[in-house]
Structure 1
Amino acid sequence: MPTGVAIHDVRRQLFDAAERILLRDGPNALTSRAVTTEAGCAKGVLHRHFADFDAFLAELVQDRIGRIDGQAAVLRDLAGTGTVAAHLVRVLTELFESVAVAIVALITFRDDLRARLRRTRPAGVPILTEAAAAIASYLAAERELGRIAAEADVDTLAPTLIGAAHLLFADRKGTPPEAEAVHRVVTAVIAGVVQDPPGRPA
């Protein structure tokens, strides 16, 4: 690793390498040696910036959670535009076509990582819990605009959508589910509450 490279850049390089391995080869292939090899840096670099490999993985998960938190505001701002179903299909597809599914499998696979994450996140599955909160916030905004029924329980609808979409995307090799399949699941879940009166143009 060249001298003078900012710590943030090294961390990003290592995180990006880990995500590529997860997407390509799955959680079983993720080792410190594999990450540094994929990142094109010396073997000791990872351990100079992180206490151990599980500390690295915990920060990888936190980094991904931070991205979801940033996307939540963007999703909420879409309330009142387009259709509720279309926005949900897009956000669920973006979530599960990303490294999220592999990270969830990684958390399940590694007991020490799961225990470390539980120190700050005692309930739920990291990544999926934050994604559900983002969707619930969006649905609440649509409810305020009258496009979701006033009695809709958005805190139940959101994890239901996450769980149903996860089943579509999990354990797939190769081609992801078609957009129409995701749309069918979304419309089935929200069928009883969606109002979709005309909103602002998409």
Structure 2
Amino acid sequence: MFAKLVEAVGLASSSTVHGHLSRLEEKGYIRRDPTKPRAIEIVSDQTNDNINMEETIHVPVISKVTAGVPITAVENIEEYFPLPEHLTSTHNSDIFILNVVGDSMIEAGILDGDKVIVRSQTIAENGDIIVAMTEEDEATVKRFYKEKNRYRLQPENSTMEPIYLDNVAVIGKVIGLYREM
């Protein structure tokens, strides 16, 4: 059995697989029967009190918001995405997710294809990373600054220029990020 697992997951040796399986068994995630060396039982969360299964909520993923050249925002729910409840505080209905398109926020660690977790709010403080609607009804993710007579939506990419606006509608504040590896 170990040789097949070594090959299937690309590990160096069967002792590595044995070590991983032993740790999973010690933590209560699996159960092995010594009389059946090829059998592994996955322990369900109902039968194992040692596993902490945190509650999740399903947050709407709403259209795509650019982190580069703004794209027209279409407010429709594409899907629901599960998040651990502790990430959403007590205001679950105020949380939504937007897919990022573009690279204007790369120096803030927000990459093309990321999902930003956003708390709906209409105000922002200088330096907040926000989702904003521009005067052309386009949505964008940028760092927010209120200047003397205008607003500045600052990209976090040194090759891009800020967007200056007389009016901006803050849709929400970015409070988290999800990235698939």
User: Is the shorter-chain TM-score for this pair beyond 0.5, marking a shared fold?
Assistant: no
- TM-score, with length taken from structure 1: 0.21
**Relative contact order, higher structure (CA 8 A, sep 6+):** 1
Q: Which structure is higher in helix share?
A: 1
**Bigger radius of gyration:** 2
- TM-score, with length taken from structure 2: 0.23
Q: Which structure is higher in strand share?
A: 2
